[in-house]
Structure 1
Amino acid sequence: MAVIVEATPKLVFTEYGHKLIIQPGEDEDPQALFERICADFDKQQKLELDSDGNIIITAPAGNESSYRNNQISKQLSIWADQDGRGKVFDSSTGFKLPDGSCLGSDAAWISNERIAAVPRKELRGFARLVPEFIVELKSQTDRFSELRKKMHAWRRNGVELGWLIHPEKQFVLIYRLNSEEPEEYRGESIRGEGPLSGFTLDLRPVWTGLDI
């Protein structure tokens, strides 16, 4: 379905795809515009609202990025089901954050206590809910510098632990709520801490991707 918006669009192209950034006009309510676009837009696209009111529309992930992300989400989901303390959300989920943004990660974990504190009706849409843990996975179309800015945004909004995974260079940046700068980690697996204590992510399928 076509969406008509009274805003000034700005296209930002990358080598393998593109992002469409919609900058609302001065008299436009960014949150209302975002919700209107989300209601009518192609669900294959990923939509986010940043803290400046810009609406960012991202093309679907490529095959290899999708495979890698599935490997991460699958391991996290299996552990969460066995652990029982919280639930896992995939890359299609958007969270309303304290700074007014609505962001999505490639995977997120939220404790049952935090979920229970949100009205059931609100959980059907974009809930005002800050994950305790998130994962961002760099794809071929992502700018790593932009992902680092996004990780700081997650931390500023209260995310306790975040992993920014760079599959091509095979390292993880670990972001913690009480630390300004991330820790670089290299290895074949990475252990969770804090809210994710007890979880270990096998990074080998993420590093190899679709190599046969």
Structure 2
Amino acid sequence: MSSKAQQKIDLNDLDLNRIYTFEEFEYINDQLKYHTFEINGQPVNLFELDKNGKLIPMPQATINMEAVVLEIGRQLGNWNIQTGQGGVVTSSQGGFNFHVRGGRMIRAPDVSFTSKNVYRHLTQQQLWTFKGEPFTPMVVIEVSDTIKDSDTNKKKKAFDDLDEKFKFEYFSVGTSVQLGWLIDPKNKGIWIYKLNKEGKVFRRKHVWGSINGGDLLPGFTLDIDLIEKVISQESTPTPTETSESEDESQMKCFKCEETFTDYHSFSKHYEKYHILKL
């Protein structure tokens, strides 16, 4: 993007009703690293791009929402490594082009999983830019307060926007998305999105509890208890509060018999020297 074109964009007063080129969209998002943007007094962390070329502001997440996103990513990432899936887990910093049949529609799910079969066939251009052939993840997860007012239409709730996002964008014709989870940790709500036998999207409400990944994520269960523990403000015993006998105890790796004084060190060792070498 030329410097002359950059000068036409007022970073302090972005016009959200204007149509932006993809190069302008990339430039504006890149500038978020160096500038603080606010819309209606709310800091903006990222912009998405809709199919018409308009910017969609993504407000910064609160500490609890971000903690939940990271915990989901951690659980999914651990499963991906420990079971040798070979896929890739990404956060909302990783965008995808969901408008695969003409035009561009850049979306950044809070957490997503791209399968090994897709990832290993991506070109260098696809890996490092948005200019290659469009591709999308297999699983998308959004974490949000669904009861709050919509950011785009005060007559709607955030749930309505997110529901439409799953049905008409993530699961639009031509994408690779096969599973979607909408998780509201504040109001304890979970919704699961899938395709039926006719290829149409359906939504199912799930009880507030652990979610099984089914055939798409074999052996994976999202542990909601761990998510609640992450955002709980109740204190838990620290290592110094455990008994001296526990501190003195050692555990032995059953693969190589190396010994460890804590479970964290053992789990890191086991993952690095035994799981990743399988």
TM-score by shorter chain over 0.5: yes
Change (3 A) 1:23 1:83: farther
Q: Return the match for 1:107 from 104, 111, 126.
A: 111
Change (3 A) 1:4 1:191: farther
CA RMSD of aligned residues (A): 2.7
In the TM superposition, what is the alpha-carbon distance from 1:40 to its structure 2 partner? 2.5
Corresponding letter in the other structure for 1:163: W
Percent identity between the aligned chains? 25
Q: Return the match for 1:180 from 182, 201, 208.
A: 201
Matches within 5 A, 1:49-60: 49-60=49-60
Q: Return the match for 2:143 from 137, 155, 168.
A: 137
Output one character per residue of 1:44-77: Cα deviation in whole Å (capped at 9) or x when no partner.
8122112232211223211111111111111011
Q: Return the match for 1:162 from 165, 172, 180.
A: 180
| 1:36 matched residue in structure 2 | 27
In the TM superposition, what is the alpha-carbon distance from 1:146 to its structure 2 partner? 1.1
Higher alpha-carbon Rg = 2
Gaps of at least 5 residues in structure 2 are: 1-5, 35-43, 151-157, 235-278
| 2:245 matched residue in structure 1 | none
| 1:17 matched residue in structure 2 | none
Contact 1:64–1:210 (CA<8 Å) still a contact in 2?
no
TM-score, normalisation: structure 1: 0.81
In the TM superposition, what is the alpha-carbon distance from 1:183 to its structure 2 partner? 0.7
Query: How many Å separate the matches in 1 of 2:90 and 2:215?
Result: 18
In the TM superposition, what is the alpha-carbon distance from 1:9 to its structure 2 partner? 4.9
Contact 2:91–2:110 (CA<8 Å) still a contact in 1?
yes
Query: How many Å separate the matches in 2 of 1:112 and 1:3?
Result: 41
Change (3 A) 1:89 1:106: same
Matches within 5 A, 1:146-157: 146-152=161-167, 153-156=169-172, 157=175
Change (3 A) 1:148 1:3: farther
Does 2:216 match 1:195?
A: yes
SS at match of 1:149: helix
| 1:211 matched residue in structure 2 | 233
Gaps of at least 5 residues in structure 1 are: 11-21
| 1:94 matched residue in structure 2 | 95
Larger RCO: 1 or 2 (CA < 8 Å, sep 6+) = 1
In the TM superposition, what is the alpha-carbon distance from 1:34 to its structure 2 partner? 1.1
In the TM superposition, what is the alpha-carbon distance from 1:193 to its structure 2 partner? 2.1
TM-score, normalisation: structure 2: 0.63
Higher strand share: 1
In the TM superposition, what is the alpha-carbon distance from 1:197 to its structure 2 partner? 2.1
Corresponding letter in the other structure for 1:117: H
Q: In terms of mean alpha carbon deviation, does 42-51 or 61-70 score higher?
A: 42-51
